[in-house]
Chain A
Amino acid sequence: MATSLQPAHPVLPAPSRLTTHLLTSANANANASTVASHPPHLHHLARQIQHNLQHQHAWTALRLHTHVSGTDKPLPRPMLSGLAPVRLYVHPDEQVELLREAGKKRDEGVGGGNEEGVGEGKLDVVVEPEREWVLPTRLSEKWSLRRLAEVFDCVGVVPPGVEDEEGEGSQNMWRKRKRVVLATVDGDSTVVYYIVHDGVVKPRQN
């Protein structure tokens, strides 16, 4: 396009939803002590991931964490916790147990009722969603085992919930290892999510 066609004083387009989200969240935190703990670009990164989780993956109860819970020690970088609409991770051993229970229920005919004809022989596996830790990263970053370990040393097995949900995290007996969802964003704002476990955890049977 020829540059001469552009007006002398170009009018900036209206900020995108994401930009608005980042700006407003930054302003909201401006006077909070949290901002001081980390540079703004890390805050923006976390907000960007939060935006993606909330609007593209329908996560709820998203919270930004800047400090190790219950202390004033800052996390290596701002992290998120949230609730996925469906369970994100089922340990293979838990899966076996769930399938066994579902099979038992089906054989007993519990809750079959009105769906007797339709859902004949169908397993009804019930899994409650769980809160997950999310670690926002950029693809251009370099990480190391030390930095990953530092992140894991700062988080608990289950993220601290919102006050009214407190205590629900310890219910799942299969959740023993720390796990963090590694969110990596590229320059084109594509975000990929990987589950990182602390330690040797066998793969899922998918």
Chain B
Amino acid sequence: MGNSTLLTSAGTLPQTLTPFPISRIATRYLLFDVHAVTYARREHNICGVLIGTIPHLSQQNVFLGIPLELMPEEARLLVEHGHAYIIDEVEAHKTGLLDMSRKDQLAFLQAMDKQGMEIAAESKKKAEERSQKALQGRGMARRARENTASRVSETADSSAKQRLADGDDECSVFEAEPRSPSPAPSHPPLAVERHFITPTISYPPLQTPNTTPTLSLPEVSKTYPLFAFLHSKGYFITPGLRFGCHYTVYPGDPLRFHSHFLATGADWDEEIDLLDIVGGGRLGTGVKKSYLIGGADTRRENASGAGSNAGDGVRAFSIEWAGL
């Protein structure tokens, strides 16, 4: 895509895309742009969960793709720190598509057509290269050459023919690459059938909505202070269901590290059953982790005032089996 939103390398957002939009669809917070996904993970330690399957193979759920679903905590943290903002996706699509001018629509369709032609030409070129290689492998390069040569004979000059002829004299089986430029790319694709593009993201054609925080912050559970606290310490946090806790806490990217903590959040005065502490500590130690409970200290919160970060004034305790 030749659009300004396309990025030079994965993981770096252009200045125009920070803060990036988080789509809210029916109380879920989703990222549809793979660049925003990698960016959030690399720069802001936000992993989320990939939830996209292939539409025709929805049972294929081993390797999931975009969209990335964010926990409400993750979405809120990104918004609070000014890295992202929430858009109501349904509303944005409605207004965006209705307000789009005819000129913009045509321009977008043309851009899609152009892109489709480019992709088609590219794939055709690749297919030709493949077949030529296969023919070479069987020692039928001569015929392949002749085929291509005869096709371009009207346009190709004599020197090119000479080079082709020279090439045929040598043992062409082990030839690494054709010395003459392959005629196909220089040849305008005559009967290439255009590929039809289904864009995976809506921005563009839709204008990215303005960044005014029209939507309120994502609603989060009472464990949010603990989440923000751990995130502020540089930990990566993923959902903790598989260990029976609120969050699984990693000291680095979960692809590179084992998790250190099974974290459970609680209110300052919330009653905690000692059996839960014992169970969590025992489970955590069994999988070489610590069980961590924590929450916002209301005493300190009142003292420091309301303008502080959510992660401030959080007290946490790490629990491990003593081995006695």
Contacts and interface: CB of A to CB of B under 8 A. Distances in A.
Interface of A: 57, 88-89, 137-146, 148-149, 152, 181-182, 184, 192-206
Interface of B: 230, 233, 251, 260-261, 266-275, 277-278, 281, 284-285, 288-290, 292-295, 297, 315-324
B318 A197 contact: yes
A152 B272 CA distance: 17
A143 B281 CA distance: 15
Contacts of A203: 260-261, 284-285, 288-290, 318, 320
B196 to A, nearest CB: 52
Nearest to B275: A139
Q: Is the interface of B mostly helix, strand, loop or mixed?
A: mixed
A62 to B, nearest CB: 14
A139 B318 contact: no
A196 B272 CA distance: 15
A176 to B, nearest CB: 13
Contacts of B285: 203, 206
Given A202-B318, A206-B288, 20 more contacts: A88-B323, A142-B272, A144-B270, A145-B269, A145-B294, A145-B315, A146-B268, A146-B269, A182-B277, A193-B321, A193-B322, A194-B321, A196-B317, A199-B317, A200-B230, A200-B292, A201-B318, A202-B251, A204-B320, A205-B288
B318 A196 contact: yes
Between A184, A196, A200, the greatest number of chain B beta carbons within 10 A of the residue's beta carbon is seen for A200
Contacts of A142: 271-274
B237 to A, nearest CB: 12
A89 B322 contact: yes
B93 to A, nearest CB: 42
Between B267, B274, B278, B315, the greatest number of chain A beta carbons within 10 A of the residue's beta carbon is seen for B274
Contacts of A204: 288, 320
A89 B323 CA distance: 9
A125 to B, nearest CB: 16
A89 B290 CA distance: 13
B316 to A, nearest CB: 6
A138 to B, nearest CB: 8
A192 B318 contact: no
A144 B294 CA distance: 10
A200 B235 CA distance: 11
Contact of A145 (B260, B266, B319): B266
The 3 closest A-B pairs by CB, nearest first: A193-B322, A142-B271, A193-B324
Contacts of A206: 285, 288
